[in-house]
Amino acid sequence: METFNSENWFPAIKQAAMDVYGHLDKSVVSYNEGIIDVIKKEYPVRLGIVKGEIYGDGSDDVTLIGNRIDRHKITALYVRLFLEKPIFTVNYKNNEQFPSVTHILANEIFCFNII
């Protein structure tokens, strides 16, 4: 399988997740680091799909191997994957004080940091 340079972003993404989690109340929000590993496995497949949409499927003699996509599309793909599979979960019970907007939007704030 081809290795994509953007796969090297995962250590920085994990650190960004930890940075966001470090500012959250752990009694309100939980963090599932394992989801990042799931996304890391899914990423090459999804990137291949994006590249196929941009460059075609290779049937017209355009090879996908040498073609690269810009960092904006890669970032958009990361954001999409992390919003589809959120790494933060709000642990809210009806009898507790409603969580702050920061806690409710923890996944979106994390994605903003990726951007």
Q: Average pLDDT, stretch 51-58?
A: 75
User: What is the span of the domain harbouring residue 43?
Assistant: 32-114
Q: pLDDT band at 1, cuts 50/70/90?
A: very low
pTM value?
Answer: 0.78
- Residue 99 domain-assigned (yes or no): yes
Cβ-based neighbour number of residue 34 at 10 Å? 9
Name the DSSP letter for residue 93. Answer: -
Total tally of structural domains belonging to the chain? 1
Q: Average pLDDT, stretch 24-42?
A: 93
- Residue 3 domain-assigned (yes or no): no
- Residue 5 domain-assigned (yes or no): no
- Residue 39 domain-assigned (yes or no): yes
Indicate the length of the chain as a whole number.
Answer: 115
- Residue 98 domain-assigned (yes or no): yes
- Residue 96 domain-assigned (yes or no): yes
Tens-place pLDDT, residues 75-115: 899 999 999 999 999 987 766 778 889 999 999 999 999 88
